[in-house]
C-alpha cells in the first residue's frame, strides 16, 4: 500500500466513524409506551436514548442505599442486554451515556414515593426525595424499555428508549396485596416471586395471612406445636408447611429491598382451629380439636375467658413483632361466628392493647369496629359499608378491599375453574372500573389509607394458579391505588393492558386472557 493510499484509508475510516457517531438516535414517542400504573404526567420529546454496554449508572451523592439501587438496576438490565453496567458514585456534572440516580428535594406532593424521570438522547436521570422514590422510578423506566428487557436470556437487539419527562407520585400511600398462605402453603421462594411481581406495579405492602383453621404458618418458638402440628396440613389434606423465623426474616428483607412492607396477620379469635388443635389449653373445654382440611369458615374460636389465651397471644405478638420491621400487625377479627359478641368486644380490645404494647399499629378486618377501636387502628373493609362508616366515626382510617372488586379469589366468570363466587364474578372491568373515594357513600378520600387485593387460596394450590387469579386484575388495582382518578379511563386502560400482554408473556406470568380484551389484535411494536 502506498503512503497516499494508506492516508486515504485512514481519512475514510475517520469520516465513517465521525458520521456514525453523529447519526441521530431514532425518533420515538414516549406517549406510545405502555405505562402501568399510568403516571401523573408524561411529556414526550421525540428523540431516544440508547443503552449500550458502556453506559454507566452514576450515583449522585454518597448514599450507600442509593448505590445498592444502582446495583439493582444494573442486575435488572443484565440478563436481556448482556451488559455488565458499571455502577459508581460521582460528584461531577452530568455526562452523556449514563443513567443518573439522585436524591434531591422535590415538591412535597412527591412524598417518599414520587419521582421524576428525565430521558434525553444523552442520558437518563431519576430524581426523588428518597431511595424508595428512585425504586418506583426504576419500575417506570423498565416499562419504557422494549418488552424484551424482561427476558431472562440474552436478546440480540438494540436498546433504544423514547425520550421525555415523567412526573409521578401515588394518590394513596397504602397499595397492598394479600396472600393467604394458610389454606394452601406457599414456599418462601414463591412469596419472593410474588413480591417481585407486585413491586413492578409499584405496590408497597404485602399482607401475609399466616394463621387460619387449616394451618399455622409461622414458627413461634415459645409455642412450637403451632407449626410442627398445626402447620402440617392444608385444604384438601396436603402436607402444608410453615416458615421458620429465619425464613420469615428472609422474606421481610427481600420485600424491604423492593420497598414493600410485610404485614403479618394472626387471625383471631375465629379462624383459629390450627392453634386449637395444637394446644388443648386454648380450648374452653381443654380438649384439642382435630386438624381441619375443609373450606368452611366461622366454626372456631379461642377461649376468650382464659388467662392462658392472652399469654399465648402476647407471646405470638411479641415474637412476630420482633422480626417485623414494618409498623403494622394484623389481628384478623373476621367471621368470628362462634364467639359471642359480648366476648368478642373485650377480646379485640385486649388484643389491640397487646399489639400497641409491642410497638405496632393494629389492622383488623371490618368487624373489629364493634370493639373500642383507637383512631390509630386501621379498618380493612371487605364488604359491609356500615362497618366502614362506624370505623370512620371512631376516627379510624380505612383500607379498601371490597370483595366484589378486589378479591382475587373470585371467579372471573361462570366458566373460571378456580376460585369462589360468593361475592360475584369479578372480570377485569369490574376490578378496574371503580374509584375508592366514591365506593362507600359517606367515606371520602381523606378517610382512606389505600387499597389492598386479597388472594384467598382455598382453591389456589400453586404459583401458576396464583398468577392466573391475580393477573391481570391486580395491575388494575395497582393503578387505582397509584393514579389519580381523573386520569383513569377503562377504554384507555384496556388498550394499555392489551399491549402489555407481550411483556407478561416474556415474564412468563400466567395471566387470565379475559374475553373483554382483544389480545390477538395486539400489534404493539414492543
Chain positions contacting ligand TNX, by CB under 6 A: 297, 334-335, 365, 382, 407, 409, 420, 456, 458
Q: Nearer to ligand TNX by C-beta: 232 or 273?
A: 273
CB of 270 to ligand TNX, least distance (A): 9
335, 342, 367, 467: the catalytic one is 335
**Residue 356 Ramachandran class (φ > 0 left, ψ -120 to 50 alpha, else beta):** alpha
CB of 90 to ligand TNX, least distance (A): 50
65 given a catalytic annotation: no
Q: Nearer to ligand TNX by C-beta: 116 or 272?
A: 272
Residue keyed to cell 389484535: 521
CB of 267 to ligand TNX, least distance (A): 8
Question: What is d(CA 327, CA 230) in angstroms, rounded to the nearest whole number?
Answer: 27
Q: Nearer to ligand TNX by C-beta: 190 or 335?
A: 335
SS3 56: strand
Q: Nearer to ligand TNX by C-beta: 55 or 459?
A: 459
Cis bond before residue 182 (omega within 30° of 0): no
Q: Are the C-beta atoms of residues 377 and 355 closer than 8 Å to each other?
A: no
CB of 402 to ligand TNX, least distance (A): 10
Q: Nearer to ligand TNX by C-beta: 292 or 456?
A: 456
H or E element in which residue 89 lies = strand 86-90
Q: Which parts of 23-160 fold into alpha helices (H)?
A: 64-81, 131-144
Q: What is the DSSP string of 243-308?
A: B-HHHHHHHHHHHHTTT-EEEEEEEESSS-HHHHHH-GGGSTTS-------S---S-----TT-HH
Taking CA atoms, 300 is separated from 212, 264, 269, 329, 489, in Å, by 10, 20, 8, 21, 44
CB of 201 to ligand TNX, least distance (A): 22
CB of 212 to ligand TNX, least distance (A): 7
Pairing of the two strands 397-400 and 378-381: parallel
Q: Nearer to ligand TNX by C-beta: 456 or 493?
A: 456
32 alpha carbon, distance to own chain's centre: 25
Active site residues: 335
Amino acid at each position: 500500500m502506498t503512503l497516499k493510499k494508506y492516508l486515504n484509508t485512514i481519512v475514510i475510516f475517520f469520516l465513517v466513524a465521525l458520521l456514525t457517531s453523529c447519526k441521530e438516535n431514532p425518533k420515538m414517542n414516549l406517549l406510545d409506551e405502555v405505562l402501568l400504573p399510568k403516571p401523573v404526567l408524561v411529556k414526550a420529546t421525540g428523540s431516544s436514548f440508547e443503552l449500550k454496554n458502556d453506559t454507566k449508572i452514576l450515583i449522585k451523592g454518597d448514599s450507600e442505599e442509593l448505590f445498592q439501587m444502582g446495583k439493582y438496576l444494573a442486575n435488572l438490565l443484565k440478563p436481556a442486554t448482556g451488559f455488565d453496567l458499571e455502577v459508581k458514585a460521582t460528584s461531577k456534572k452530568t455526562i452523556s451515556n449514563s443513567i443518573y440516580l439522585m436524591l434531591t428535594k422535590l415538591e412535597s406532593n412527591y412524598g417518599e414515593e414520587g419521582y421524576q424521570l428525565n430521558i434525553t438522547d444523552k442520558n437518563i436521570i431519576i430524581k426523588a426525595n428518597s431511595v424508595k422514590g428512585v425504586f418506583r422510578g426504576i419500575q417506570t423506566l423498565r416499562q419504557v424499555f422494549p418488552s424484551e428487557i424482561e427476558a431472562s436470556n440474552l436478546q440480540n437487539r438494540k436498546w433504544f428508549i423514547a425520550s421525555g419527562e415523567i412526573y409521578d407520585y401515588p394518590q394513596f400511600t397504602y397499595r397492598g396485596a394479600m396472600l393467604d398462605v394458610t389454606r394452601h402453603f406457599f414456599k418462601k421462594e414463591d412469596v419472593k416471586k410474588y413480591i417481585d411481581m407486585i413491586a413492578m406495579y409499584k405496590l408497597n405492602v404485602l399482607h401475609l395471612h399466616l394463621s387460619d383453621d387449616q394451618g399455622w404458618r409461622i414458627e413461634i418458638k415459645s409455642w412450637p406445636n403451632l407449626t410442627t402440628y398445626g402447620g402440617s396440613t392444608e385444604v384438601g389434606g396436603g402436607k402444608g408447611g410453615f416458615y421458620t423465623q429465619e425464613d420469615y426474616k428472609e422474606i421481610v428483607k427481600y420485600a424491604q429491598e423492593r420497598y414493600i412492607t410485610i404485614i403479618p396477620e394472626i387471625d383471631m379469635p375465629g379462624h383459629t382451629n390450627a392453634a386449637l388443635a395444637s394446644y388443648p389449653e386454648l380450648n374452653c373445654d381443654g380438649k384439642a380439636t382435630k386438624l381441619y382440611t375443609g373450606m368452611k369458615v366461622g366454626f372456631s374460636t379461642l377461649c376468650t375467658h382464659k388467662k392462658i389465651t392472652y399469654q399465648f397471644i402476647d407471646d405470638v405478638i411479641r415474637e412476630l413483632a420482633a422480626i417485623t420491621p414494618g409498623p403494622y400487625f394484623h389481628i384478623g377479627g373476621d367471621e368470628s361466628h362462634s364467639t359471642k359478641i359480648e366476648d368478642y368486644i373485650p377480646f379485640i380490645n385486649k388484643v389491640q392493647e397487646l399489639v400497641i404494647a409491642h410497638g405496632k399499629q393494629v389492622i383488623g378486618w371490618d368487624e373489629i369496629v364493634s370493639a373500642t377501636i383507637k383512631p390509630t387502628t386501621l379498618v380493612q373493609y371487605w364488604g359491609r359499608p356500615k362497618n366502614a362508616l362506624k370505623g370512620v366515626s371512631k376516627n379510624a382510617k380505612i383500607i379498601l378491599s371490597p370483595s366484589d372488586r378486589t378479591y382475587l379469589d373470585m371467579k372471573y366468570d361462570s366458566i373460571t375453574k378456580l376460585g369462589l363466587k360468593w361475592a360475584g364474578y369479578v372480570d377485569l372491568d369490574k376490578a378496574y372500573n371503580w374509584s375508592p373515594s366514591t365506593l362507600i357513600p359517606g367515606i371520602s378520600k381523606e378517610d382512606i389509607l389505600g387499597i389492598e387485593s386479597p388472594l384467598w387460596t382455598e382453591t389456589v394450590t400453586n404459583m401458576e394458579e396464583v398468577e392466573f387469579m391475580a393477573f391481570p386484575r391486580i395491575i388494575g388495582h395497582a393503578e387505582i391505588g397509584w393514579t389519580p382518578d381523573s386520569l383513569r379511563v377503562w377504554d384507555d386502560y384496556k388498550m394499555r393492558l392489551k399491549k402489555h400482554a407481550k411483556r407478561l408473556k416474556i415474564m412468563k406470568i400466567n395471566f387470565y386472557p379475559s374475553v373483554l380484551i382483544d389480545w390477538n389484535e395486539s400489534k404493539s411494536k414492543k
